[in-house]
Structure 1
Amino acid sequence: MSIKKKLRSSEWFNSDNKKMNFVHRSWLRNQGYPDDYFEGKPVIGICNTWSDLTPCNGHLRQFAEVVKRGILEAGGFPMEFPVMSLGETIMKPTTMLFRNLASMDTEESIRANPLDGIVLLTGCDKTTPSTLMGACSVDLPTIVVPGGPMLSGRFRGEQIGSGSMNWMVKEKQNNEAFTDADFREAEVCLARSIGHCNTMGTASTMSTMVEALGLTLPGFSSIPAADARKKMYAQLSGRRIVEMVKEDLTLSKILTREAFENAIVTNSGVGGSTNLIIHLTAVAGRVGIDLKLEDFDIHGSKIPLLVNLKPSGKYLMEDFYYAGGLPVVLKNLMPLLHKEVITVNGATMAENYKDAVCYEEDVIRTLESPLKKEAGIAVLKGNLCENGSVIKPSAASLHLMKHTGKAVVFETMEDYHERIDDPNLKIDENSVIVLKGVGPKGYPGMPEVGNVDLPAKLIKKGVRDMVRISDGRMSGTAGGTVILHVSPESSVGGTLALVENGDMISLDVEKRSLELLVSDEELQKRKQSWKAPEPRADRGYVKLYIDHVEQADKGADLNFLVGGSGSKVERDSH
């Protein structure tokens, strides 16, 4: 197939500026490249999020070499480059603070270099949306190679999920007398192979998202990291990106509004993380699609839950793959999807998944026999969240879906840690835990703390869930009746900032309502005396973030990054 348009890399290597051609080519010659590498081969950038500090992506250094093989086989010129890697399990205060920075790193690395197509090597939670956001802002042919989940954890004869086990530590300490030795043993059993979390947490949700958007080869996202087929698909992805450059199949041609709606439906069908909302919204913003919070409710809240995976079910990602993986889910959901959207392999969604076969129906259900009739994300509105908040009903407790209780307020995360286990704290199972100061600007970075642990005294009584409300996020590996992403956040003066101990709060998920039962007059009085907290940074990137980050309902991107400028906008030449 001939190349449809002039290669972008030719501006560096084969332009009318002979001096600059000489400079660019001669310096690359020290790597031993022969003449034909500079004579019309598509240059493919391999954007690698490998890092020793990102254990979930620790195998991507190997994967880059496999991708290179595929690129070379297809006649391309592979060029690997690093970008900021975001290790969810290691970084402080939260990787979400740096998602936008990593997207800027990705965008500018692509834009500034002689690249014709891009392969994104992703894995841990934020490495997928950050690199995709950056790539969207340049709009070249792009394909995603997701790193894959770990193998299932095994501990004392029980199958355990990485991530989900984390939220059981306090309970096991209080109710099962777990010792330090017990936890050390569990650590190794929990994370026993390469890869990211093996539940349908945020990492698996993000890899599911990119396949549902049409950005991976069909079936790629479900394969465990340790499975040899993962490398095979990585090699095939290297071959395919060269063809995508020849076809000029750019991101903007794949990422249509219909593709985003497919991702919303798919997320509901698999019981994916609430974090999809904030990331998918940000990605859409980079390609100029106005994806609103309400779209997640309109398109996703009535979708049946088809996948029986933790935290909404009992199985893990390895079981999901053996049962047939995402191809089966997409085939089963096809009546609810936009079937004719194009994907990276040049075929439509319907063509890609029509032959998928399910091998274990207890893991992947049909539309006629779902795990739950309605899953997805419910978007709540009310005076406590004027611009919206979200809850994941499939991970919540049925008896708390309609609930009224007294607020027990924690002004900051530090305040929560200091008082939550105080035996004198006035709190019971009917109370509503309210956590302030953990939104995009307030923390800053909007950490995954919305599913805060319950008080030790209530855990000992057997209480397993309570209504919890915050302007923060929640790990996709977690569950509970947790209201998240309250917007506007407390630190900018949203109503959440005005909640006081003892206030009554009413939640009605069916009616999509979240109300603070305080009169408008009283709220206005409180508003007049409210003072904004001091910003937590006065220099560097964190100050830039605080000054420019948008609210959760808009994807928490930086306001000056919204709207992709496209690869046609180049930096000045030498």
Structure 2
Amino acid sequence: MTFKPAQWPRKLRSQEWFGGNGRDQIYHRGWMKNQGLPHHMFDGRPVIGILNTWSELTPCNAHLRDLAEKVKYGVYEAGGFPVEVPVFSASESAFRPTAMMFRNLAALAVEEAIRGQPMDGCVLLVGCDKTTPSLLMGAASCDLPTIMVSGGPMLNGYFRGERVGSGTHLWKFSEAVKAGEMTQAEFAQAEASMSRSPGSCNTMGTASTMASMMESLGMTLSGNAAIPAVDSRRRVMAHMTGMRIVQMVKDDLKPSDILKKENFENAIRTNGAIGGSTNAVIHLLAIAGRVGIDLTLDDWDRCGREVSTIVNLMPSGKYLMEEFFYAGGLPVVIKRLAEAGLLHKDAMTVSGGSIWDEVKDVVNYNEDVILPADRPLTAHGGIAVLKGNLAPKGAVLKPSAASPHLMKHRGRAVVFEDIDDYKAKINDENLDIDENCVMVMKNCGPKGYPGMAEVGNMGLPPKVLRKGITDMVRISDARMSGTAYGTVVLHTSPEAAAGGPLAVVRNGDMIELDVEARRIHLDISDAELQARLAEWKPLPDQPESGYAWLHQNHVMGADTGADLDFLKGCRGAPVGKDSH
């Protein structure tokens, strides 16, 4: 893949605001100068928007103001003009009903922030799960030169000598309390050890997965994904990113030059190798839709099926992101995939060169963290895409986080109509359920929850946990946290709230799961299934106004990325008419 840089110097987009001596240009410059900016900053140098998702209610991103300053240093050093712009920050830990409901709103806000303001290029400062895809979705729709830098993961947590992974141990300890193996007081003591430094989840959860996806897509500088948030090298990465975006503007190197089908296939295979989050599926589908790339669930299964998971990190393995960085980080994984013939080595990155050029000389410093090919954590680690009469448009499962003995299973359905029904019943000792059953939860998809919350990894009933059972087959149209684990079928499409077959599953129905055959089947006749679907009635309550109304009426299915239908495709960033 080759890229021909544009000629420099040339007139930049920002000069429509700042260049010249007309009334409108003086108006724009004059207001900017109240910040103490000298006149020569408006002389035609690249204006770089630093789109910052810093927020004290987004704890993963609460340190990004410091990184923004380092990006500015790099922009200034390279001869650019940095402007920091706060943008919508969807916090995974604080937003209700779920941050996923607001991913598309954030993308819409970011797109308009870029399109409507004098930026020639963008640095996207991200961290928490939804901030990464939402900012790239918005930037890709505008197609100005863009580069990303993430905030990095937290340091390892430790509790009573045990390595503690954020999220992963939350689920583990919570189940231990329900099983009577841990006291509530001990759970509270463990809380302080889970998040002991700035940064995002220290497991291979969704935040670190999406940072890895951005690096494997070619949208960050090599090595960005794994540097801990508090490591000085994270600040160096921010500085170098600031320098690089200035040259990208001069070269006119845009997302559409980088985000090709080959880059997405590289990311899918990388996700399998790292044991990445199932949430990457829905986000990459949405990003691809913004740049007009035909990416489907079938591509996920085709590209990831034969990829081994070689990164020994929670929730699939035993280490955390800190050890992953010390071992060499994502460049080692990318090199391993390339050497195995599983990567498009000539795929372009924001460096202007190929992804292979970025990784060919890296070294693996710990083969217990990044495993050799002949002893992978899971032989087939890519996301499994399941289809059948229960999921005609597909559902997903993460093999590296599932129990091998449940990968082929037939069980009796125990049905929960929604998350409230689940909460009302799951602790009832009279619930007719055992470890051989299949737990089914409905109405938790993009329309159903609304927003498709991370509730798919339903906690097991206490009476099953007390037997020492730690996993059961669970099926829903919901998502689950990238830090979670278990034999969990997710993103079932069409979702129940849209009248998909999941909506008509009944208690006592038999369900068959066969991951190897990629099959998920409701064991009733076609005639019975059609009769049930004909009787189905949609949920009665619909929002009357606001963003919730917009979301409910325009969100698409999980199988296409759950974007809003009118936001697909790249619309560019033309200079609008000045109103002054």
Same fold (TM over 0.5): yes
Q: Secondary structure at the match of 1:137?
A: helix
- The counterpart of 1:31, out of the listed 28, 35, 57, is 35
Instruction: List alignment gaps of at least 5 residues for structure 2.
Output: none
In structure 2, the residue matched to 1:84 is 88
In structure 2, the residue matched to 1:191 is 195
- The counterpart of 1:293, out of the listed 265, 278, 297, is 297
Give 2:13's aligned amino acid: R
Match runs of 1:257-336 below 5 Å: 257-334=261-338, 335-336=341-342
In structure 1, the residue matched to 2:375 is 369
Match runs of 1:490-501 below 5 Å: 490-501=496-507
Contact (CA 8 Å) 1:436, 1:470: kept in 2 or not?
yes
Contact (CA 8 Å) 1:76, 1:242: kept in 2 or not?
yes
Structure 2 residue 569 is matched with structure 1 residue 531 = no
Structure 2 residue 562 is matched with structure 1 residue 573 = no
Contact (CA 8 Å) 1:4, 1:248: kept in 2 or not?
no
Give 2:114's aligned amino acid: I
Q: Secondary structure at the match of 1:541?
A: helix
Give 1:422's aligned amino acid: D
Instruction: List alignment gaps of at least 5 residues for structure 1.
Output: none
Deviates more, 1:49-58 or 1:524-533: 524-533
User: What is the root-mean-square deviation of aligned Cα atoms in Å?
Assistant: 1.2
In structure 1, the residue matched to 2:396 is 390
In structure 2, the residue matched to 1:99 is 103
In structure 2, the residue matched to 1:14 is 19
Q: Deviations over 1:282-318 (max 9, x none)?
A: 0000000010111000001210111000011110000
In structure 1, the residue matched to 2:156 is 152
Match runs of 1:465-484 below 5 Å: 465-484=471-490
Counterpart CA distance in 2 for 1:184 and 1:503 is 40
Give 1:31's aligned amino acid: Q
Counterpart CA distance in 2 for 1:445 and 1:371 is 33
> How big is the shift at 1:186?
1.1
Task: Give the share of equivalent positions with the same residue, in percent.
Answer: 58
Counterpart CA distance in 2 for 1:63 and 1:258 is 31
- The counterpart of 1:202, out of the listed 192, 201, 206, is 206
Give 1:300's aligned amino acid: G
Q: Deviations over 1:316-372 (max 9, x none)?
A: 000101111111111111121001111111121110001111111010023333222
- The counterpart of 1:454, out of the listed 452, 455, 460, is 460
Q: Secondary structure at the match of 1:331?
A: helix
Counterpart CA distance in 2 for 1:559 and 1:401 is 35
Counterpart CA distance in 1 for 2:511 and 2:181 is 35
In structure 2, the residue matched to 1:441 is 447
Counterpart CA distance in 2 for 1:175 and 1:426 is 18
In structure 1, the residue matched to 2:122 is 118
Q: Deviations over 1:485-514 (max 9, x none)?
A: 000000111100110000011111111111
Q: Deviations over 1:401-456 (max 9, x none)?
A: 11111100000100000001111111011100000010100111000110000001
> How big is the shift at 1:214?
0.6
Contact (CA 8 Å) 1:311, 1:395: kept in 2 or not?
yes
Count of residue correspondences: 572
Counterpart CA distance in 2 for 1:417 and 1:303 is 37
Give 1:513's aligned amino acid: R
Match runs of 1:395-434 below 5 Å: 395-434=401-440
> How big is the shift at 1:571?
3.0
> How big is the shift at 1:463?
1.1
Q: Deviations over 1:27-47 (max 9, x none)?
A: 111011111101111000000
Q: Deviations over 1:207-251 (max 9, x none)?
A: 000000111111111100010000011001101100110011111
Counterpart CA distance in 2 for 1:513 and 1:174 is 32
Counterpart CA distance in 2 for 1:511 and 1:120 is 40
Give 1:492's aligned amino acid: A
Q: Secondary structure at the match of 1:336?
A: coil
Q: Secondary structure at the match of 1:381?
A: strand
Q: Secondary structure at the match of 1:560?
A: helix
Q: Secondary structure at the match of 2:433?
A: coil
Counterpart CA distance in 2 for 1:44 and 1:172 is 49
> How big is the shift at 1:566?
1.5
Counterpart CA distance in 1 for 2:492 and 2:364 is 38
Contact (CA 8 Å) 2:290, 2:568: kept in 1 or not?
yes
Q: Secondary structure at the match of 1:289?
A: coil
Counterpart CA distance in 2 for 1:522 and 1:176 is 42
Contact (CA 8 Å) 1:342, 1:348: kept in 2 or not?
yes
Deviates more, 1:334-343 or 1:43-52: 334-343
Counterpart CA distance in 2 for 1:457 and 1:246 is 64
Give 1:158's aligned amino acid: E
Structure 2 residue 135 is matched with structure 1 residue 131 = yes
TM-score by length of structure 2 reads 0.97
Counterpart CA distance in 1 for 2:476 and 2:330 is 32
Q: Secondary structure at the match of 1:446?
A: coil
In structure 1, the residue matched to 2:64 is 60
> How big is the shift at 1:177?
4.8
Contact (CA 8 Å) 1:442, 1:535: kept in 2 or not?
no
> How big is the shift at 1:4?
5.8
Give 2:172's aligned amino acid: M
In structure 2, the residue matched to 1:225 is 229
Give 2:308's aligned amino acid: P
Q: Secondary structure at the match of 1:457?
A: helix
Contact (CA 8 Å) 1:214, 1:343: kept in 2 or not?
yes
Give 1:556's aligned amino acid: A
Deviates more, 1:300-309 or 1:163-172: 163-172
- Give the direction of change, closer, same or farther, for the CA distance of 1:281–1:303 in structure 2 (3 Å limit): same
Contact (CA 8 Å) 1:548, 1:559: kept in 2 or not?
yes
